[in-house]
Structure 1
Amino acid sequence: MNRSSQMSSPNSLRRQPKQQRGQQRVAKILTAAAEVFAQVGYSAATTQQIAERASTAVGSIYQFFPDKLAIFHALEAEHMERIAIVNAELLSKDIRRPLLQTIDEMVDTHAQYFEHPIPRIVYLQYFLAPIPGLFALFDDKFDRLLISQFADLCQQRNPQLDRDRSELIAEVFHRTYNCLLLVALKSNGEHRQKLYAELKNLLYVYLNPYIGDDLLLHTKVMICEHCGSDRVAKNGHRHGKQRYICRACGKQFADSYSLRGYPPEIKQQCLALHQQGMSFRQIERQTGVSHNTVINWVAAAS
């Protein structure tokens, strides 16, 4: 039996606030609860402490929530809804972007997101202090979904990767990301930023051999023939041909490849930086374009 099968419904509000003032009160209670849970722990926290932090009466809390578990379920539900939107936006970006830029945006976006007390306490509680029966939505299935989505991205950037290999790469990426993100969130501000920087470097070094920019330049990227999206995954065979499904529009189609590379403005930017005296490695760090690619561009332009 998994953890979610033991839960009450996460939608545990006694009544949904309809007016703005009521919605603001609930939001204030939830933020206060997240701060109290982070300070003293879920088990030790009381509704009285939450009420004091929210500058409201305990009775006001019970107008909306029957108990402490219902409050946590509301925090969890808010986090799950928001993180789904955050991840969807990250994964919907053009896969032709430099790998370093993709990693930078991913880490920076999550770092900013988890500065908010609600997602931070839900995330830390799940991974560092799990309590049986506490979570209703956040479970191993969510982890597997994230791994599957990143495996899709790996195959989009490098179609030569088979599904098993891409999922293994995605799992190593995801587990490593989670571990260092957790350490960073427990650290102070200055050290946290240093950990984020090292996390970016680590992820880039690991992913570059599999889905690096050089591979993207020399491989064919599947494009949806219906909507033009590159969010495409393999979907079995028919009449001996590989079938694909578009994650953007949901339609299926057969082989339809298009060669992809960097946009012309990226190439011109790199050449201009080289003319200004910047080294190939410095250009790579600033633009995310592999130094080998820049070397080839410079050689071709000379």
Structure 2
Amino acid sequence: MTEVSHSSSPQASINLRRQPKQQRGKERVEKILDAAATVFDEVGYEAATTHMIAAKAGTAIGSLYQFFPDKAAIFKAMEIRHSERVKEFWSQVDIPALVQLPLRQMIYVLVESVAELFEQPVSRVVFVQFYLAPQIFQSIDESMTQDAIAFMASILKHRNPALPGELHDLLAEVCVHSSNAIILAALRNPDPEHCQRLTQQIENLMVSYLEPHVGNQRLGNVMKVMMCLHCQSDQLSKNGYRRGKQCYLCKDCGKQFVAQ
């Protein structure tokens, strides 16, 4: 669902002319990377120039050159930033706890986390450019897709250990490739609302596809977690009874609903 390189030491491979030591310098580098992401998104990598990036960052071209010798070095730093964020995302996933959730909620948590990752301009542009212009990449390659598949396979294996190894690998491969294709279409769509609708369909697609293999009926130890029918939040409070059924109030969206 997300992608990362095999670089073992990301910070060491960034082609910075000068490593920023003070916080102000680090913030300037991040500002340059965000500006570069905007420029690459607007005009493409080939048409982009360091002068355009410096102007978008609101900094002098000389300040940019203090850190980066050319736009290739800037893009490589963007690759590294994206890789670091994906690795951080993976490290924060508590797989044993995640797989105990009902299937739809498990997928919802994963999809929302990935969507949050791509709200960051650098990660969004790096992901899109990997499919549009793979030749400009220096530290990310096809191995990152294999890492994503292995991550998803691990989740499926934990959720249903009875699945044959070849099957959970195949399921994971289909999930990663199909979700990446939808994410790419969503990120390239200029309409924010349609982009959101596309992203939301990943949840429906994956739930339907995975239900026969890792659905709730196959797990005897899945926790019964009540979710809001309107926003899928689990931050609920009991709110009396209606016709003999428990009512709940969602603390996030404020709507009420009856237990299904």
Normalising by the smaller structure, the TM-score range is 0.7 to 0.9
How many residue pairs were aligned? 229
2:144 pairs with 1:142: yes
Change (3 A) 1:13 1:275: farther
The answer to whether the 8 A contact 1:96-1:262 is kept is yes
Change (3 A) 1:15 1:195: same
Secondary structure of 2:219's aligned partner: helix
Greater mean alpha carbon deviation, residues 66-75 or residues 152-161: 152-161
The answer to whether the 8 A contact 2:156-2:214 is kept is yes
In the alignment, which residue of structure 2 is the partner of 1:244?
none
Secondary structure of 1:262's aligned partner: coil
* Amino acid across the alignment from 1:262: M
2:157 pairs with 1:117: no
2:123 pairs with 1:154: no
Q: Aligned to 2:75, which of 69, 72, 77?
A: 72
Query: What is the 5 A alignment of 1:24-43?
Result: 24-43=27-46
* Amino acid across the alignment from 2:185: V
Secondary structure of 2:87's aligned partner: helix
Query: What is the 5 A alignment of 1:131-280?
Result: 132=135, 134-187=136-189, 188-217=191-220, 260-262=221-223, 266=226, 275-276=244-245
* Amino acid across the alignment from 1:112: E
The answer to whether the 8 A contact 2:102-2:222 is kept is no
The answer to whether the 8 A contact 1:31-1:118 is kept is yes
Secondary structure of 1:175's aligned partner: helix
Q: Aligned to 1:126, which of 130, 138, 146?
A: 130
- Structure 1 Cα separation of the partners of residues 152 and 211 of structure 2: 14
RMSD: 2.8
Unaligned runs of 5+ in 2: 7-11, 228-237, 248-259
In the alignment, which residue of structure 2 is the partner of 1:85?
88
Secondary structure of 2:48's aligned partner: coil
The answer to whether the 8 A contact 1:181-1:196 is kept is yes
The sequence identity of aligned pairs, in percent, is 40
- Structure 2 Cα separation of the partners of residues 273 and 19 of structure 1: 60
In the alignment, which residue of structure 2 is the partner of 1:14?
17
Q: TM-score, normalised by structure 1?
A: 0.69
- Structure 2 Cα separation of the partners of residues 170 and 56 of structure 1: 44
RCO greater where, 1 or 2, for CA within 8 Å and sep 6 or more?
Answer: 2
- Structure 1 Cα separation of the partners of residues 117 and 245 of structure 2: 37
The answer to whether the 8 A contact 2:149-2:169 is kept is yes
Whichever of the two has the greater Rg, that structure is 1
User: Shift of the alpha carbon at 1:275?
Assistant: 4.5
The answer to whether the 8 A contact 1:10-1:70 is kept is no
Q: TM-score, normalised by structure 2?
A: 0.80
* Amino acid across the alignment from 1:146: A
Secondary structure of 1:13's aligned partner: coil
